[in-house]
Structure 1
Amino acid sequence: MRCWSSTSSKSFSRSARTNSSASGSSDTLCALASPQDGQAPRALVVLGVRADFYGHLLAHPALAASLPDGQVTLGPMTADELHVAIERPARQAGLGLEPGLVELLLRDLTPPGTAADPGALPLLAHALLVTWQNRQGRLLTVAGYQLTGGIRAAVATTAERAFGSLDASGKDAARRLLLRLVQVGADTGQTRRRVAVEQLYRQVPDPALADVLAVFVRARLLTADTATVEITHEALLTAWPRLSGWIEADRAGLAAYQRLAEAAEAWRPLRSRALLYQGAPLVIATAWAADHTGELGPAEREFLDASTSEQQRGTRRLRRLVAVLSVLVLLSAAATGTALWQRAEARRAQDIAVSQKVAGQVAVLRKTNPALAMQLALAAYRRAQTVEARGAVLDSIAPYVTRYAGGGDWVQALAVAPDQRTLAMGTNNGITQLWDVTQPHRQQPLGVLPTSGHISAVAFRPGPATRILFTAETGQGRLWDVTKSEHPTEVARLDGAIRGGAFSPDGQVLATGDSDVVRLWRVGPSGSVTPLTVLPGHGVAEFVAFSPDGASLLTGGNGTVLLWDAHDLDRPPTQITMNAGEGLDAAVFGPDGRTLAVSGSGYDLRIYHVDADRHFSTPVRPATSDMLFGLAFSPDGTILATGGNDKRITLYDAATGRELAHLGLSSRLLSTAFTRDGDVIAGGVGGSVHVWHDPLSLLTTRGPRAVGPPGPELALLGDRPTQLWDVTDPGRRMLVGVEGPGAAEHSLRLQVTVAKHKAVTLWDIGDPTHPERLVELPIDDLRAAALHPGGRILVTGDNAGHLMIWDVSKPRDPRWLKTIDKDFDDVNSIAFADNGALMATADTNHGIWLWNTTDPANPLELSHSTAHTEAVVVARFSPNQQILVSAGYDWTARLWDVTGRKLDDPVTLVGHTDAVVGASFSPDGKSLLTAGLDNTIRVWSLADRRHPELTAVVSDPELLIPAYAADSRRFATVGDTLTRVWDTDVEAVAGRICAFAGARISPEEWRQHFGDDAYEPPC
């Protein structure tokens, strides 16, 4: 056995070792010599030679003579070979593969229409390694693979994590170390090189080197034995943007240094003058050393000094150097274009990696800091338009959030001025500010009041007169003239330990509560005050509030609530008491003056209705999980918003106490308010105030529903009673009509809904303002129903595998026609093409069926496929009737070309990590939605329907039914409790994000997510 190893990019020298690698990137040649009768070898078999080193073999006569015979050319691996390469080692190691993992790996490794790139195999190896490290027991999972960042990002993610764990000194040592392990060639790009440990310590004399080596060896990025160190995967050189950036930043200089290091190592043991640099090499090395102070090791420095001394002995060498420099200038100019292109590609790869990383962080951050999450999503998209970043932007749908960074500590009190423009906020450390809530981008408050102590309450006087603001501070209460917000002036002072205060609806009376009593004050036009009366009843009066009609006064403290007749304060008040031992945290009137919400410190929330005699009804007690401090009713009184220790705003139905939606933040919420337009304002820990614009867009009804465009609008049907909604406005839904008899004559338009697998209901929506229930048809274990476009035939499917045909030409009196029994098991989905000529059904027995429905009363089977490996639950036709999409529990969706009325050769869409249970084509046929039990919706471009392109992934916490709007731009998702409208126009969503963003992302927040990249806030 003879072996040659590449010691430079120009030649091969004989070596006593081999250097094979799983990456297929070995630069070592091994030859088997077969002597015969003492003659020279007749045949030479070369093993593991990369194509880009082939030319070097031809430079050696002995090797070149052997090359024509016995060659075996290895092309890219086929999909089957890749499948075996993934699956068989796992099986031999006793590991299992989660369904869908292999297909996902193959898709990422070989994008549609391309062959496997041999250079991608090391990336696959590393991704599998990290997937194994994230396994569940002995199962390699899709979730574990996704944690790696994918085929292209796994190595880079591991490397960036290792690099990020080092301090500044370690990072510098790591850069110098890794560049010593790279071989830069003129015509072979860059390859890894094996370096002796002793040599590395000479070249990188840094105390941190040993620790850096240990970090990268533990991450399996470097391989080290007792004598040598090398990069484990050559793929690291291109897959890690930071390393490729270092290489491209000074490729010529790096090559010069490598030649210098090799020359110094060769000279060191012999110290021969013949081995010293002279001429151009010396000039290049000297220039490089001058620009890289501190980069040279002791051996290189000694060699360079000896070479410089030798050069000074004659001028003939100088003349030679001048000529060589001229040549180098020309070579440098020729290489500049290539270097710039390579640098741009490296930058692009780095941008993609950063975009994907930040987009991945947005989903988690959205639950605790939605205003920041929206801006980060947009910043990631501006960095690189990746699928992940586009999805993160689209996920930023209503309600949009404005953040006002007021400073201070806990925001204890909020009040909205009568003009609905000015917000007053007070903190527990004495800060009171005025903000213009109509200007989200204003970074500074309108004005700051010179308050002090603990601000426990703020309140604006009603009415259009001089603007008066009341503040309750530690030890006193004060009234301020804030007509000129930038110059607030004190107009009255009330002494005492005042806890709360409220103005009467006419603004003429101020009620204050302190540690002993409740006091009433007459308020003059300019804000002056005179005492009126004192009300007993509380040891501590923390809350006071007038009813909107001014007829009642609420006072609360020490666990009790008293309701007074404001026109007859001598009349004994009505009293309610919280649970024994509980304090009182908040109390508020509803806008009708007959609804009252009270929260106690024992996680107790109560909603009372009060009659004309101020008697309290039995309270509605919504379920709560923590203490609540902020209570506010919506302008119409139907919604109660609460905020507290659970770090979220919860919206309740004020009549029933049912939770409707919640809005999360990262801190406790101590104060809550509504604007007249229905925006929710909340203040909490950290001195920030958040405003949710149109939060009620999240709400929906429960019960049977149908999704689809029965008219130009996208409409949804709910229950109790059934309602028809127009959701054409992405930010706000409008109630079109409520179930009832039609108000006028209209043409019959049918809609169908399936209710709880028990009945199918036919609706007349000819008059959208009065959707009318025509008939409810009971069917046991009903699974699916669809109306033929002609409107005279209804087809239903059930869990018993029956496909039933119904005559609904008289919709109030449906008539069964026939039942089709096939090997369905369960009939899960039924769909008609728009022209009515085709019908598709999907079943639990892996089946998708195509039917001729030219005569819809007698469907004729055209084709049947069991390409799916699990139950099929979705079947939908494209608007042009040429494509059928099916989807199911094998985590895939499949596109079928049905122009030939055959179910052959489907295109398979993968990526969901659970069953795919919904699909919808856009009306223009250019896009497709797929929805899965993984709570994601994938948006696909069908510009090339044989190779659909994933454009975005959005997420929702509920099981979803998706449907496109008539404009093909927006779509709605309907869950068990929420209906949401999504806009796929990224720039339109970006505009709304920036319109509502408020305080923009700070430099500190930017560095936390983008590192040292230039600060570029997206809005």
Structure 2
Amino acid sequence: MPDPLEPGDPERIGEFWPAGRLGAGGQGVVYDAYAPDGTRVAVKVLHGAQESPKELQAMAAEARAAQRVASFCTARILQVRLEPPRPYIVSEYIDGLSLQAVVRGTADRDGRLFTGDDLHRLGIGIATALTAIHRAKVVHRDLKPGNVLLGPDGPRLIDFGIARVLDTRSADAGTFAGTLPYMAPEVYAGRQAGAEADVFAWGAIMLFAATGEHAFKGLALPEIAHRVRTHEPDLDVLPETLRPLVGAALAKEPLARPSATEILTALTGDPRDGSDLVAAGAAQAVLEARWEPGDPALGKVAEDAYAALPPAAQRLVPELFLRFVVPGEDGGLTTRPIPEDELFDRQDDAEAQTLREVVQAFGRLLLMSGGQFVLTRPALLRAWPRLRGWVEAERDGLRTHHRIRQAARTWAEHGRRRADVLTGAHMDEAVRWATSGARRPALSRLERDLLDASARARYAHKRRNRAIAGVLAVTAVVALGATGWAVDAQRTRSEERDIAASQQLAAQSRQFAGSPETAALLAVAAQRVHETPESRAALLDVVTRSGRGAVAGYGPNPITVAAGGGRLAFGNDDGTVAVWDVKARKQLGAPLRLLPDADYRDDLVLPVALSPDGRVLAAAGSRGNPSEAPGAAGDVVKGTVRLWDVTTGKPLGDLPVAHASSVTFSPDGKTLTVIGADGVTVWDAQTRRRTRLVPFPPSFTYLSRSHEGSKAALSADTGTAVFALPGALEIWDVHAGRRKGTIPGPVDEVALSRDGRTIAARHNKTIRLRDTGSGRTIGTRIPMKTEYVQRPLFTPDGKTLLIGTDMWDVVRGVRAGAVSGTGQEQVLAGAFTDERTLVTVSGVAGLADRKNAVRLWDTKVHQPLPGPFVPVEKADEVILPATSGDRRVLAVAHAPGGAGIGYSSYSAATGGRVAGPVGPPPNLADILGTAMAVSADGKSIASGNTYGQISLWSGGRWTGPFEGGPGSMLNVMAFSPDGRTLATGGGAQTQISTPVVDGKVQLWDARTGRMLAVLGDSSQQVASLAFSPDGRTLAAGMGAAVHLFDTASRRDLGVLDNPSGSATALAFSRDGRTLATGGNGAVSLWDVRTRQSRGAPISGHNGQVTSAAFDASGRTLATGGADGTALLWDVASHRQLGSPLTGHTKAVTAVAFDAGNKTLMTTDGAAVLRHWNIAMPANATGAACAIAGRSLTRKEWTKYVPSGVPYRAICPTSR
């Protein structure tokens, strides 16, 4: 499906219902939308086109002309609405991928190039569309691979006419309509583009389709403009039939290019003109390659989910979706979230379980948030014909049901008071609707109880009048005690109001996860109004996410950043620099002018640096490269390095270094090291005298700015420099002025850790980590999402490398988590303010009309500690991993090099070996092991196989196989906490032609191998086992039934029905009173003594829950999933804490908290063991206030806090 809608996106655009985002850019946002009759369309909402009535008239005229374009190889324009405040254009939806996506590939499709006949047909299709467009007197002006969709009937051109519509401002504004590598030379010269510019773009697209690369590459506007005006692309890759046409289309002079009609005539060989030629082109444009559909229609997604359900479940689908719908008094429709307890509040428990299966089946369209189900794509009401019919048939009844639902909520929240029941006409209407035979949503138990109470109240009212006289007789006596009662009642009502307000604020906080400041303020407000489980969970969720706010109120547009002394220095795209105080969250003084002007903003080179105490600012400004002649990319400015006193804002002097690309202070702030046109220079920061010059190596080509990134890197802490030469890296000691070593291999970009020990070397889209001392490669290759991102940045301790927002472990070269993403933006620059706080400048490179964002991140919170423990280097050699019941020991069965099986156990805390390696059990070496367990001390290992045979390694030898095993494959094993008892669970007998399940649960004496008892024998496989901490209770998951056994008396204490299916994970709390049972995507909590569930299931994983564990307090639960993620949950509120912990490549088989609840251990099916920093701040409220940096204003209080709750300052005022 398309990308989901974002906060602030419209719920309706005219009569159309947006379902998702198809794309966004400088022109506007394109939405996947549906008309009232369910027709799928594309709606483009235009940005910045409302300045004047005259401009709107010009736009409307252009758009109407575009509507007249014949629909040959184009997407038909259906509707144009250019009235303020939201002008938009509706066009036909084309089911297919863009040429950009087909050539470059997508997440689930490999890219492919166009050759031969398909390339020829592609050219015909685009030329046909251009011919039709130009005949209507319309110019596209933004022709690019992303605007060519490959539909089932061939290429279709979209967005024609829109770029021309938008380009109504003067060229003097410095903005261009179009996409830089596909804009014709005359556009860069400031002339208006005509049809010839579209032809130029056609030629560039042909080369892109054939090579997969832009014909005119470059990072920024000046570089691309220069190549467009001067570069002649190599056309040899094109077939003979296309080569001369593409060459002519790419002519630098517009008049030298053929028209679209001439290109189409040459490609089709058809001598006709007009409509006949266009029709012939459309007929020949159908591609021979297999058509690749785009995102499926919303209605098809829903219908497929519906068709996959059994009939009993299908009958309940209207129950789910009609509860989302709220008809308005004006006849319109809106949607509402459904509280989880409302949806599953059923008289029949089996019906509630079936509803859970329905919710799971429609999981792609629903979101569980804050205890409520949200319809993520409200456009489904229009897009799915079946739902559209249900809604229309029940429209009037849905309005009545909504009133009943609201009344039931109020009645329940106020303690089911008689005063809140339905009366009069509302009661009559509700009864009529509830007793009708229409297809209505069934009443929940709460709603049914309300109607029953309303009927009883009506009857009681008739009897009440008879007692009025008696009541008056005692009024005087009661009045004497009424004052105290009234005060208590008022206090109770205030407390109930505050609790409700706190819960509402906590829920709102989670909705602002992408805005850390707002989320933090609302979480603190919830806690200040009234402490509730929900407010506590909201606070902990805020402080355990990596986002730490943004720099707001900063005037200029930053492109570079540095940090020092609690301050940030920004280099801005207008040639100025400025300093920001992190604690006070304000700019210090006005921006300081470094360059006199900045007409070509994206061509600036503006490195900045702050002394460690934050008192001295250094910045270098230049434009272009040393080798460029004036006029090649604007005026080349050599620039200089200038120093300022931050306190006074006065310049301290200049350093005569031209084209500096890096400026760095030493740790003591006494020296400044600069990489510039002459080499690496070291300067005395106080006297500004040069103390060292290290020239570049002879074969090194210095570019202060390049789309390939920097080829020189420096560690000012150690005086180490690295240069990327053709085919090699050279490492230099700057202080000694000598070369230290050479590492062979091609490198396009380099970065160096602060300690000078590790190099990050990028070539194409791959980064390798190299040790500067030995030159050896560290870990595996690191793939990059794109070549054009911020230079790789090391953390201050040098143990982690950041690439954009992804983090990589330097010790092993494996992924180590991520800070939250920044949407479609790229991280352009970054710096660390301290050991853990990262500040990033993010935006879209080359997009001058969009201001970059500055964000702060905590790179340690909820991130893995460096250096995961990997006992077996090759994951495919791991046969079985296992952990002890307390998760302190990891055991691994593996086959190194495909040879015999070996068993070892390790400390989960240190990775140190506890026992082994030992060979397999005698006489069982060739039988596949299917289950394993390890004792808490790591000195005993139990192994089971496909034949149900059990062997035990202890005291340096194997014993067994034990007599009396289940005779079927062993699925799971577990030692008791004292290590004296072994529990085993059976599975299927696989040795016979028709497998039979033999789900026995057996207890064994771990010292003698004697079977102690058979606790259960099920027709379902045993999927999980867990002992309580005292060893007195054993939980066994047999399918969806979880049996509890008394291990002393061997009695079955009862059965828990796991609502999320087969119980694949079990965990007791430390006090043994609570049991967590994990199933398909959810975990349930149970009171062990009463065997009653503690709230609804907690959903979050995509797939089976494979492990679970409580912390020492029992207030936090960790779960691991088959999706390779671990999640933390607040037990009281059932809310997720922080972002998912990602990094494992296989199912997370075990999770465990350390004694202080500061670290979480996780391990996976490849036996990779990670430790995560999950420490919670001692003062969560104070930490959240620090993230926000301020308090809620009175205006914000009125906006977010329910009425009746008095305003209060929730956070200390920052100074």
TM-score class, shorter: 0.5 to 0.7
CA apart distance, 1:661? 0.8
Count residues with an aligned counterpart: 687
705, 721, 736: which one pairs with 1:553? 721
Identity of matched residues, %: 19
The answer on 1:456 being equivalent to 2:605 is: yes
Deviation, 1:650, is: 1.5
> In the alignment, does 2:965 pair up with 1:818?
no
CA contact (8 A) 2:1004 2:1011 kept: yes
For residue 587 of structure 1, what is the aligned residue in structure 2?
Answer: 750
Closer/same/farther in 2, CA of residues 594 and 152 from structure 1, 3 Å limit: closer
Query: Does 1:622 find its partner at 2:782?
Result: yes
SS of residue paired to 1:660: strand
Is 1:989 aligned to residue 1180 of structure 2?
Answer: yes
Change (3 A) 1:371 1:560: farther
Q: Is the 8 A contact 2:1065 2:1077 kept in 1?
A: yes
Instruction: Check if 1:956 corresponds to 2:1106.
Output: no
Q: Is the 8 A contact 1:597 1:631 kept in 2?
A: yes
Report matched runs for 1:39-118 at 5 Å: 95-97=315-317, 108-109=341-342
2:572 maps to a residue whose letter is: T
Q: Distance in 2 between matches of 1:792 and 1:356?
A: 47
Structure 2 SS opposite 1:669: strand
Greater RCO, 1 or 2 (C-alpha within 8 Å, sep 6+): 1
What is the distance in 1 between the residues matched to 2:1153 and 2:734?
54
Amino acid at match of 2:540: L
**Separation (CA, whole Å) in 2 of partners of 1:523 and 1:837:** 72
Q: Quote how far apart the aligned CAs of 1:423 are.
A: 3.6
| Matching of residue 394 in structure 1 with residue 540 in structure 2 | yes
Partner SS for 1:836 = coil
The residue correspondences of 1:211-290 to structure 2 (distance < 5 A) are 233-235=402-404
Tell me, in whole angstroms, the C-alpha distance in 2 between the residues paired with 1:219 and 1:1010.
Answer: 36
CA distance in 2, matches of 1:230, 1:834: 53
Counterpart of 2:1047 in structure 1 is 852
Equivalents in 1 of 2:318, 2:907: separation in Å?
Answer: 42
Deviation at residue 698 of structure 1 after TM alignment: 1.0
Quote the Cα distance in structure 1 between the aligned partners of 2:1116 and 2:861.
Answer: 29
Q: 2:571 aligns with which of 412, 426, 448?
A: 426
Relative distance call for 1:478 and 1:373 in structure 2 (3 A) is farther
- 8 Å contact 1:539–1:557 — kept in the other structure? no
5+ unaligned residues in a row in structure 2: which ranges? 1-309, 324-336, 383-389, 414-485, 624-636, 844-850, 871-880, 895-903, 916-927, 940-952, 962-967, 989-998
- Judged with a 3 Å threshold, the aligned counterparts in structure 2 of structure 1 residues 674 and 970 are, in CA distance, closer, same or farther, namely closer
- Aligned equivalents of 2:612 and 2:1115: distance in 1? 55
Mapping for residues 863-942 of structure 1, pairs under 5 Å: 863=1053, 865=1055, 867-868=1057-1058, 870-877=1061-1068, 886=1077, 888-889=1079-1080, 893=1084, 895=1086, 898=1089, 909-910=1096-1097, 912=1099, 920=1109, 939-941=1130-1132
d(CA) in 2 for partners of 1:517 and 1:149?
59
Residue 787 of structure 1 corresponds to: 975
Distance 1:723 1:538, change over 3 A: farther
Aligned residue type for 1:603: K
- Residues 373-395 of structure 1 deviation map (CA, whole Å, 9 limit, x = unaligned): 44454456667877766544322
**Residue pairs, 1:630-709, within 5 angstroms:** 630-643=791-804, 649-666=805-822, 667-674=825-832, 677-685=835-843, 686-695=851-860, 698-700=863-865, 701=868, 706=883
Aligned residue number for residue 947 of structure 2 = none
Q: 1:91 to 1:682 in 2, by over 3 A?
A: same
Sort the Cα spacing of 1:622 and 1:449 in 2 relative to 1 into closer, same or farther, 3 A: same
Could you say if the C-alpha distance between residues 144 and 999 of structure 1 is closer, same or farther in structure 2, counting changes exceeding 3 Å? Answer: same
In 2: Cα distance, 1:524 partner to 1:886 partner:
63
Q: CA RMSD in A?
A: 6.3
Deviations 1:201-232 (Å, cap 9, x if unpaired)?
xxxxxxxxxxxxxxxx99999859xxxx9978
Q: Deviations over 1:627-668 (max 9, x none)?
A: 33232223343221222xxxxx22112243211111124232
Q: Which residue is 1:538 aligned to? A: 701
Deviations 1:869-926 (A, max 9, x none): 7423344555555665655459573636558xxxx77777445477665555665678
* Deviation of 1:431 (Å): 3.8
CA distance in 1, matches of 2:557, 2:784: 22
Partner of 1:518: 679
Candidates 768, 779, 784, aligned match of 1:606: 768
Contact 1:799 1:826 in 2 (8 A): yes
Q: Does 1:362 align with 2:512?
A: yes
CA gap 1:445/1:881 in 2 versus in 1, 3 angstroms? same
Q: What's the CA shift for 1:988?
A: 3.5
TM-aligned CA distance change 1:551 to 1:486, over 3 Å: closer
Aligned partners of 1:595 and 1:608 also within 8 Å: yes
- Rounded Cα–Cα distance in structure 1 between residues aligned with 2:313 and 2:975: 53
| Gap change, CA 1:504 and 1:910, over 3 Å in 2 | closer
Tell me the secondary structure at the aligned position of residue 553 of structure 1.
Answer: strand
In 2 relative to 1, CA 1015–829 (structure 1 residues): closer, same or farther, beyond 3 Å?
Answer: same
Equivalent-residue separation in structure 1 for 2:1187 and 2:907 (angstroms): 29
From 578, 584, 597, give the equivalent of 2:760. Answer: 597
The superposition leaves residues 406-436 of structure 1 with CA deviations (integer Å, 9 ceiling, x where unpaired) of 735664333344xx54443323333423345
State the SS of the aligned residue for 2:587.
Answer: coil
Instruction: Indicate the residue corresponding to 1:55 in structure 2.
Output: none
Q: CA deviation at 1:622?
A: 0.7
Q: TM-score, normalised by structure 2?
A: 0.45
Change (3 A) 1:594 1:980: closer
Residue 702 to residue 864, structure 1, CA distance change in 2 (3 Å):
farther
User: How far off its partner does 1:823 sit?
Assistant: 2.5
Q: Paired residue for 1:831?
A: 1026
Q: Give the alignment of 1:127-146 within 5 angstroms.
A: 141=362
Distance, in Å, in 2 between the alignment partners of 1:466 and 1:359 is 38
Letter in 1 for 2:752: F
User: Given the two structures, how large is their TM-score scaled by the length of structure 1?
Assistant: 0.53
**In structure 2, do the counterparts of structure 1 residues 562 and 802 end up closer, same or farther at CA, with 3 Å as the change threshold?**
same
Counterpart in the other structure of 1:322? none
TM-aligned CA deviation for residue 597 of structure 1:
1.4
After superposition, the C-alpha distances for 1:136-180 in whole angstroms (9 at most, x for unaligned) are: 9xx9847767679989999xx99xx99xxxxxxxxxxxxxxxxxx
User: Does the Cα contact within 8 Å between 1:802 and 1:819 map onto a contact in 2?
Assistant: no
1:203 maps to none
The whole-number CA distance in structure 1 between the counterparts of 2:1201 and 2:617 is 45
- Mapping of 1:966-977 within 5 angstroms? 972=1160, 974=1162, 976=1164
What is the one-letter code of the residue matched to 1:642? Answer: I
* 1:494 alignment partner in structure 2: 656
Alpha-carbon separation, structure 2, partners of 1:385 and 1:560: 61
Q: Pick from 469, 474, 478: which aligns with 2:618?
A: 469
2:912 to 739, 742, 757: 739
Secondary structure at the residue paired with 2:790?
Answer: strand
Change (3 A) 1:797 1:416: same
Equivalent position to 1:761, from 930, 934, 937: 934
**Superimposed CA distance per residue, residues 645-698 of structure 1 (whole angstroms, 9 cap, x where no aligned partner):** xxxx22112243211111124232112334563443323234544343352751
Judge conservation of contact 2:826–2:842 (CA < 8 Å) in 1.
yes
- Aligned AA (1:637): G
5+ residue gaps in structure 1? 1-89, 117-123, 163-216, 245-335, 644-648, 726-735, 743-754, 767-771, 810-814, 855-859, 942-948
**Which residue identity lines up with residue 95 of structure 1 in the other structure?**
R
1:848-879 CA deviation, whole Å, 9 max, x = no partner?
1413337xxxxx34446474574233445555
8 Å contact from structure 2 (residues 767, 782) kept in 1: yes
Distance in 2 of aligned mates of 1:348 and 1:596: 56
For the Cα contact (< 8 Å) 1:414–1:426, is it kept in 2? yes
1:527 equivalenced with 2:670 (yes/no): no
